[in-house]
Amino acid sequence: MSTERQDLTIGMAGSGGDGVVSAGDSLITALALEGYYAIVAKSFGSQIRGGESSFRLRVSTEEALNIGGTLDIAVALNWEDFLRFGSELPVDGTSTVIYDEKTGVAPDKVPLAVQPAQVVAVPIEAMAKEHAGTEKAKNTIVLGLMAGWCGLARASIVAGLRKRFSKKGPELVAANERAFEAGILFAEAHPLRQSLAMAPPAEKRAKLLTDGNEIVGAAAIFAGCEFFAGYPITPSTEVMQFMTREIWKYGGAVVQFEDEIASVGACVGASFAGKKVMTVSSGPGMSLKSEILGLATIAELPLVAVDVQRGGPSTGLPTKGEQSDVFQAIFSAHGDVLRPVLAARSVRDLFGVTVEAFNIAEQYQTPVILLSDGELGQRKETFDPIDTSQFRLVERRRPFDKELDGYVRFRLTESGISPLSQPGMKGGNYLASGIEHNEAGAPTAKGEVHARMNEKRFKKLLPLKARRDLFHIEGDADAPIGIVSWGSVAGVALEALRMARKQGVRAKLLVPTLIYPVPEDVYQDFFASVERGFVLEQSHQGQFYRVLRMFVDVPRGVTSIARSGSNPFLPKEVAFKLRDLAREVQQALAPELQAQE
Amino acid sequence: MASVNALTEQAYQARDYKSDLKPIWCPGCGDFGVVTAIYRALAAVGRPPHEIAFVSGIGCSSRIPGYTTAYGFNSVHGRALPIAQGIKVSRPDLLVLAAGGDGDGFAIGGGHVSHAIRRNVDLTYIIMDNQIYGLTKGQLSPTSHRGRKSVTSMYGSLEEPINPLMYVLAYGAGFVAQGTPADMSGLAVLIEEAIRFPGFAFVNVQSPCVTYGEPDEQLKAQKAKIEDLRALGHDPADWLHGMDLAREYGTKLYTGVFYKNPTPAPTFAHAVSSLQEQLQSQALPKKDILNMFAPRQA
């Protein structure tokens, strides 16, 4: 006898015209309305139109920290497309596999490396044709199957279908309702051996729903961003699309420039003019922007640059996320530069971290790089409302009237921060420049002035390293096992930690929001009790691990677990790794016991 | 076009725009005349220095903002126009000037010119065209003539030069003029007219390099070559004829207005403010901005 599920991960794949992605969107919208926590990630081949597409949806009664592990339910409209997604749609012996009977594969002959728990062939296409008169309704049949077998969001799905097809006429609305109903009836007529029924949400109150690119735009507007400039680049473009739709309403402006360089250049100009500014790109675009980011550093102008990372180098894997721009974000600068780098671990988290990026940029008159990635940027999450009154919005330190009398732009102050005037302020006139300058802003090539100015530009950022609130630490404070993870992968680490601790493993996790500068003492404190551990991240080199080792005495037992993009970590495998480490720690404590075994 | 105010009525004098910074230019450099012309043009227009943003790239001529009392920005090579556009789009209340050399504007920054023109951001772009890279000591520039010898073209340039005038005319700039510090008063009037023009305005200045330039490019030689477009009877509203005259770039030294759109197109700032007005009622209170993500299906 089975109990209701608290958590389900559903994956579905088909070819371009199958409406797979829109089925995922319909489903998560319905789940948001019902009050479930959910995440949906869509994935495509690199074709412009057509080709394979998939979604992967996790629904939970508790906050979903990542897109989940192996699929509880795998839906294959055809096998070729399903298999193209490889490790993105992992199936194991606990999965239920549903596929279109039309593929002609016998249930005991499905082309998978493992035998799933149950396999159901459904005449999906035939049912679509029969009930809706078109195979285009295959996705609606699948929604009906999910609603039937999982008991998910029936009324909300129907409402969604009505809305989606209302523009196309009552005929299509009725056809899709029939298809949906047919899916439900099929599920009811074919009860599963292992039930997939989902428990109701903890609270039946609609959640908010968006993706990690749009929320960055909303956070920027909230933070006071009045100028945005960008250039299309996957997987970041939705931020600019959002801004072109929204920023005008709030008195701001957006320009799609002719290239990446011009976009960041225009941001520097608008910042010089006194506005909060943002530009967004991905790895290759960030490379193009890096010269002007250097200008923003030396001219001491606030600027937020978001890097929605993708697999690289070069065009790499443009549609897939990766965490391989850590080195670039920190070290791409020419000259001596300390440029703050931040990262967020979920769509919801991106809101606060984006606001923080603006605050740091304004406070310290510096460019700030926010590392998002293709997975965060493209995935949709349902989430609880955020109390925006908790955020303090920082404005750059502008000169007071009396400071405008004999104004000195780059005055050497105790903090290293000098009041920043802007055009329109009488008496605040100064020369901003990329060339080294003295306190007054006049160009100079004097070594001692350059040294003093470098010192000023570094000194002003030191207080950042005391910001303990930019580090999330969870678990047993004195644990011998410690892991560090950041960005989108941190959600996997967090779930793995909780799983392992439930099994009695004493472990802890550190998730930095501040990637750079690295505050040595935060890590020294964290690692003080740690004998074994790892830094978990999505890149080939384990870039953040290597950065940590530049600044921190990372214990020898702490290694790098890193994997190239588009090969997701599963929470369970990370939890197993933690359990293995616990065994190692145990064995190290009692080697003689081990010998007796 | 004469200045609107008689000299005695001006709120500001040319000297109000001159900073204390001493130019690094070589004695005899054409850019001295250009900066003086700019002081005069700004005084004639009469905006206070703190309401002016003056952006440049990198090069000898790009030092120019520092020699004015405006809010200056001596930025990086080739990017004066993007930075200037960022300023103007976000702060349409400001008077925005951009300036630089021919290499800055038509080599490394060449990709930006056409887009600034088609966007029609209301700013004035002054190129100090000396057909050579001076700051880096005499390399070939995009306006160097074929056969020009330089430290990077020992046997003479193998390339045709770009024609800045035809370039900007072809992309539809609303105001295109050429001047020279050899006629500094005339240049001041051209720059003033460019500033007053509502939209993207371009002034090419034949500003010779006294150190690496050729003898026939120098101010003295120029004075003998100047041909005033008005004296030739050119109507600045006649784009086709302006284009025809622009073809003589590099052979003749025409000064004056090649083209001035008699019915200027709406500026980018205008489009921005209409959009803002049209949409402002749809704004959510910022504290509730996340409500835009409330799921809707019914």
**What is the distance in angstroms between the Cα of B146 and the nearest Cα belonging to chain A?**
30
Q: Decide if B63 contacts B74 (C-beta within 8 A).
A: yes
**What is the distance in angstroms between the Cα of B140 and the nearest Cα belonging to chain A?**
24
Residues A224 and A348 in one domain: yes
Residues A339 and A456 in one domain: no
- Is A423 in contact with B72 (Cβ distance < 8 A)? no
Residues A102-126 have a mean pLDDT of 95
Measured between beta carbons, the chain A residues lying within 8 angstroms of B115 are 257-258, 262
Q: What is the per-residue pLDDT for A595?
A: 56
Q: What is the per-residue pLDDT for B9?
A: 61
Q: What is the per-residue pLDDT for B267?
A: 98
Measured between beta carbons, the chain A residues lying within 8 angstroms of B272 are 248, 253
**Residue finishing a domain among A181, A206, A231:** A206
* Partner residue opposite B112 with nearest CB, options A206, A258, A275: A258
Residues A383 and A408 in one domain: no
Q: What is the per-residue pLDDT for A592?
A: 61
Does pLDDT of A1 surpass 50? no
Measured between beta carbons, the chain A residues lying within 8 angstroms of B295 are 29, 32-33, 206-209, 382
* Partner residue opposite B86 with nearest CB, options A269, A382, A422: A269
Measured between beta carbons, the chain B residues lying within 8 angstroms of A262 are 79, 81-82, 85, 111-112, 115
Cα A528 to the center of its chain, rounded Å: 30
Residue A173 has which token pair?
A: 């609305």
- Is B90 in contact with A388 (Cβ distance < 8 A)? no
Q: Which of B17, B47, B81, B90 to mutate to test the interface with A (most CBs of A within 10 A)?
A: B90
pLDDT (tens digit per residue) in A70-108: 999 999 999 999 999 988 899 999 999 999 999 999 999
Give the CB-side neighbour count of residue B102, counting CA atoms within 13 A: 25
Residues A341 and A222 in one domain: yes
Q: What is the per-residue pLDDT for A430?
A: 98
Q: Decide if A54 contacts A86 (C-beta within 8 A).
A: no
The percent of residues in chain A predicted with pLDDT above 70, rounded, is 98
Please state, as a whole number, how many other Cβ atoms lie within 10 Å of the Cβ of residue A583. 13
Q: What is the per-residue pLDDT for A588?
A: 87
Q: Which of residues 209-268 of B touch A (CB under 8 A)?
A: none
Give the CB-side neighbour count of residue A449, counting CA atoms within 13 A: 14
CA distance B238 to B181: 26
- Is A275 in contact with B286 (Cβ distance < 8 A)? no
Residue B92: beta bridge partners?
none
- Averaged pLDDT score across all residues of chain A: 96
Does pLDDT of A590 surpass 90? no
**What is the distance in angstroms between the Cα of B72 and the nearest Cα belonging to chain A?**
4
- Is A269 in contact with B272 (Cβ distance < 8 A)? no
Residues A458 and A523 in one domain: no
In a domain, A272, yes or no: yes
B58 touching chain A per CB within 8 A: yes
- Is A423 in contact with B71 (Cβ distance < 8 A)? yes
pLDDT (tens digit per residue) in A352-411: 999 999 999 999 999 999 999 999 999 999 999 999 999 999 999 999 999 999 999 999
Question: Which single residue is written with the structure tokens 């209302």?
Answer: A166
- Is B90 in contact with A351 (Cβ distance < 8 A)? no
Cβ-based contacts under 8 A for chains A and B: 205
Global ipTM: 0.96
Measured between beta carbons, the chain A residues lying within 8 angstroms of B296 are 29, 163
Cα A368 to the center of its chain, rounded Å: 17
In a domain, A2, yes or no: no
Q: What is the per-residue pLDDT for B232?
A: 98
HEC readout, A356-398: HHHHHHHHHCCEEEEEEEHHHHHCEEEECCCCHHHCCCCCCCC
Question: CATH number for the domain including A195?
Answer: 3.40.920.10
Domain count, chain A: 4
Q: What is the per-residue pLDDT for A49?
A: 64
End-to-end CA distance of chain A: 38
* Partner residue opposite A429 with nearest CB, options B49, B114, B296: B49
- Is A433 in contact with B287 (Cβ distance < 8 A)? no
Q: What is the per-residue pLDDT for A45?
A: 75
- Is A259 in contact with B111 (Cβ distance < 8 A)? yes
Q: What is the per-residue pLDDT for A87?
A: 86
DSSP per-residue letters across A535-565: EEESSSS-HHHHHHHHHS---TTEEEEE--T
Q: How large is the greatest C-alpha to C-alpha distance in chain A, in angstroms?
A: 85
Which of the four pLDDT bands, split at 50, 70 and 90, describes residue B179?
Answer: very high
Q: Which of A235, A242, A234 is nearest to A217 (CA)?
A: A242
In a domain, A597, yes or no: no
Does pLDDT of B2 surpass 50? no
* Partner residue opposite B82 with nearest CB, options A262, A423, A431: A262
Question: CATH number for the domain including A351?
Answer: 3.40.50.970
CA distance A132 to A138: 9
In a domain, A96, yes or no: yes
**What is the distance in angstroms between the Cα of B260 and the nearest Cα belonging to chain A?**
25
Q: Which of A161, A162, A249 to mutate to test the interface with B (most CBs of B within 10 A)?
A: A249
The mean-pLDDT minimum among A322-326, B1-5, B99-103 falls in B1-5
Torsion angle, CA of A432/A436/A438/A444, rounded to 10 degrees? -120
B285 touching chain A per CB within 8 A: no
Measured between beta carbons, the chain B residues lying within 8 angstroms of A265 are 75, 79, 82-83, 86
- Is B290 in contact with A431 (Cβ distance < 8 A)? no
Q: Which of A561, A565, A516 is nearest to A539 (CA)?
A: A565
Measured between beta carbons, the chain B residues lying within 8 angstroms of A269 are 55, 73, 82-87, 90
Q: Decide if A85 contacts A107 (C-beta within 8 A).
A: no
Q: Which of A433, A435, A437 to mutate to test the interface with B (most CBs of B within 10 A)?
A: A433
Q: What is the per-residue pLDDT for A16?
A: 83
Please name the residue of chain B whose CA is at the shortest distance from the CA of residue A380. Answer: B293
Question: Which single residue is written with the structure tokens 């901003």?
Answer: A432
What is the DSSP-derived secondary structure letter of residue B181?
G
Residues A242 and A368 in one domain: yes
Q: Decide if A487 contacts A582 (C-beta within 8 A).
A: no
- Is A272 in contact with B287 (Cβ distance < 8 A)? no
Question: CATH number for the domain including A578?
Answer: 3.40.50.920
Q: What is the per-residue pLDDT for A3?
A: 83
Q: Which of B168, B126, B89, B204 is nearest to A257 (CA)?
A: B89
Residue B127: beta bridge partners?
B100, B204
* Partner residue opposite A270 with nearest CB, options B74, B87, B298: B87
pLDDT (tens digit per residue) in A524-535: 999 999 999 999
Does pLDDT of B290 surpass 90? yes
Q: Which residues contact B5 (CB under 8 A, 6 or more apart)?
A: B44, B46
Residue A10 has which token pair?
A: 């559903």
**Residue finishing a domain among A155, A171, A206:** A206
In a domain, A196, yes or no: yes
**What is the distance in angstroms between the Cα of B122 and the nearest Cα belonging to chain A?**
15
Q: What angle do CA A517, A522, A528 make, to 5 degrees?
A: 140
pLDDT (tens digit per residue) in A129-187: 999 999 999 999 999 999 999 999 899 999 999 988 999 999 999 999 999 999 999 99
B48 touching chain A per CB within 8 A: yes
* Residue range(s) defining the domain that contains residue A165: 7-206
Residues A509 and A462 in one domain: no
Q: Which of residues 6-45 of B touch A (CB under 8 A)?
A: 21
Does pLDDT of A596 surpass 80? no
CA distance A370 to A376: 12
Residues A383 and A344 in one domain: yes
How many residues are there in chain A?
A: 597
Residue B255: beta bridge partners?
B228
In a domain, A473, yes or no: yes
CA distance A526 to A511: 11
Residues A319 and A443 in one domain: no
Residues A143 and A252 in one domain: no
Residues A248-269 have a mean pLDDT of 98
In a domain, A122, yes or no: yes
- Is A265 in contact with B83 (Cβ distance < 8 A)? yes
Residues A425 and A558 in one domain: no
Residue burial A555-581, b: 16+ Cβ < 10 Å; e: rest: bebbebbbbbbbebbbbbebbebbbeb
**What is the distance in angstroms between the Cα of B1 and the nearest Cα belonging to chain A?**
28
Residues A227 and A289 in one domain: yes
Measured between beta carbons, the chain A residues lying within 8 angstroms of B290 are 208, 215, 218, 351, 385-386, 388
Domains defined for chain B, CATH in brackets: 7-293 (3.40.50.970)
Q: What is the per-residue pLDDT for A153?
A: 87
* Partner residue opposite A423 with nearest CB, options B91, B287, B288: B91
Q: Decide if B96 contacts B125 (C-beta within 8 A).
A: no
Q: What is the per-residue pLDDT for B1?
A: 44
Q: At what angle do helices A170-189 and A154-166 cross, to 10 degrees?
A: 150
Q: Decide if B209 contacts B130 (C-beta within 8 A).
A: yes
- Is A272 in contact with B73 (Cβ distance < 8 A)? yes
* Partner residue opposite A434 with nearest CB, options B75, B85, B119: B75
**Residue finishing a domain among A173, A190, A206:** A206
Does pLDDT of A194 surpass 50? yes
Q: Which of B12, B20, B75 to mutate to test the interface with A (most CBs of A within 10 A)?
A: B75
Q: Which residues contact A413 (CB under 8 A, 6 or more apart)?
A: none
Measured between beta carbons, the chain B residues lying within 8 angstroms of A277 are 86, 90
